[in-house]
Amino acid sequence: MLPTRRSAALATALGVAAATLPPARAEDVASGPSRAPDRRYGPLLQGPFDFPSAARATVRRELSPGRIWSFEQVQGVIYVHVPVRMTVVKLDSGGLFVYAPIAPTAECLRLLAEVEADHGPVVHILLPTLAIEHKSFAGAFANARPKAQLWVAPAQYSFPLDLPLTLQGFPRRTKVLPADGAVDSVPWAAQLPYRTLAPIREKVGGFSEVVVFDKPTGTLLVTDLVTSLPDTPPAILAENDKRALLYHSRDLPDEVPAEPDGTLAGAGRFFSAAFPPEMPTAGRALGWAGFFAWRWRPSWPATFEAVRYGGRPFVPPILQELVLSREPASVLAFANRVADDFAFTSIVPAHFDAPVAAGPREWLAAFRPFRAGGTSYPGALPEADLAFLRQFERTLVASGTIRPRPPLAP
């Protein structure tokens, strides 16, 4: 998601958070990301959603006393750093269940070992999605806990060749999660029943997600389908690299002559204009040669408040517009099934705020955009703020990368 679009939910949250920060301090600019050895993981660049630093911090929080823990890191490009969460749940049968594993840095594994010392070892690990930003860590995390069983959402794929799981980086012991109705072979399903959004397939890749309900705490674990924005910056952003927030707190230069419009020509104009010669030295010191890829608009506070809407769960705009809108009927059927089957009182997404005080009613409200006439409701983004995604969608449809939208369900 490009940082020029304040209306895109993830980038908007970063922009609003940064706007409340004081001016950059020299020591913050100079320090950059933490270089602690226990925060290093793998090569310099892990993939398209990783920031260019081999160090990443981990923050652990207890979400439900003695029952659920959040392990948070960041992922992103340039200084658009997005919090990503691994959720650990205590199993009544003994040991721990890991949902959506993150990078197994020494710091992350040390913080996990402290929980294991009190509640037993990791027994099961679930990769609940096909998304590369989550998938890229699952194999390495499972190898760090070799006695645990790794489960993966069905329909895993690789591109350009569709390879077996072992050649996608998963251990040989990996198991594909059975269909929702065939859970006898899933030892944790009695406490943690799950529902799977069937794959939404496109010419390249697809999207699927497994949501899990923890009965003892009434908590629904979700990866990307819904999120909730806090009104203050998540602690992991400053812990990992303060420059990410300082970068977005800049006020000058206040104009970039070209914004991306979803076309290749527009992207070229955007990048040629994103290195303004008037960038001051302090701005260049933040990194990326003074790359300044957006402009502030007077309407950004209203846009942020619209998408946050008091912290209620919502479907991220990029998923809403480019992915789930291809099969709205199946998405709504899945959302209704989750609401009917699970009496949850809180949601723990894999990004941004958690836990979110929400039940089936709030969950279903997040999927209103997939019903006919569902674009106008409290908290809906103005059409003008979706213009970039809509143009990008048209470009992808014209190239055959994704299908046109079908009619919305009544």
pLDDT at 122: 98
pLDDT at 359: 97
Q: What are the φ/ψ torsions at residue 319 (nearest 5 degrees)?
A: -70, -45
Q: What is the pLDDT of residues 284-332, one digit of tens each?
A: 666 666 676 666 677 777 888 888 888 999 999 889 989 999 999 999 9
Q: Which of 245, 263, 314 is nearest to 83 (CA)?
A: 245
**CB 343, CB 46: distance < 8 Å:** no
Cα 240 versus chain centre, distance: 17
**CB 408, CB 327: distance < 8 Å:** no
**CATH entry, 9-232+301-398, from 1.10.3720.10, 3.60.15.10, 3.30.2310.20, 3.30.70.260:** 3.60.15.10
pLDDT at 26: 43
Dihedral (CA of 208, 374, 305, 391) sign: positive
Residue ranges in 317-375 assigned as alpha helix (H): 317-322, 328-341, 360-365
pLDDT at 288: 67
Q: What is the full per-residue pLDDT of the chain (410 aa) written as tens digits?
A: 323 222 233 333 323 333 333 333 444 444 555 667 888 876 544 444 444 445 789 999 999 999 999 999 988 766 677 899 999 999 999 999 999 999 999 999 999 999 999 999 999 999 999 988 898 899 999 999 999 999 999 998 888 777 888 888 899 999 999 988 777 899 999 999 999 999 998 887 889 999 999 999 999 999 999 999 988 888 898 888 777 777 766 554 444 445 666 677 877 777 777 776 666 676 666 666 667 666 667 777 788 888 888 899 999 988 998 999 999 999 999 999 999 999 999 999 999 999 999 999 999 999 998 987 766 676 677 777 788 888 888 999 999 888 999 987 66
pTM: 0.85
Dihedral (CA of 289, 293, 299, 302) sign: negative
Q: What does each C-alpha distance from 202 to 148, 272, 395 come to in angstroms?
A: 33, 32, 15
pLDDT at 21: 32
The alpha-carbon radius of gyration of the chain (Å, integer) is 21
Burial of 245 (0-12, 13-18, 19+ CB in 10 A): buried
pLDDT at 248: 67
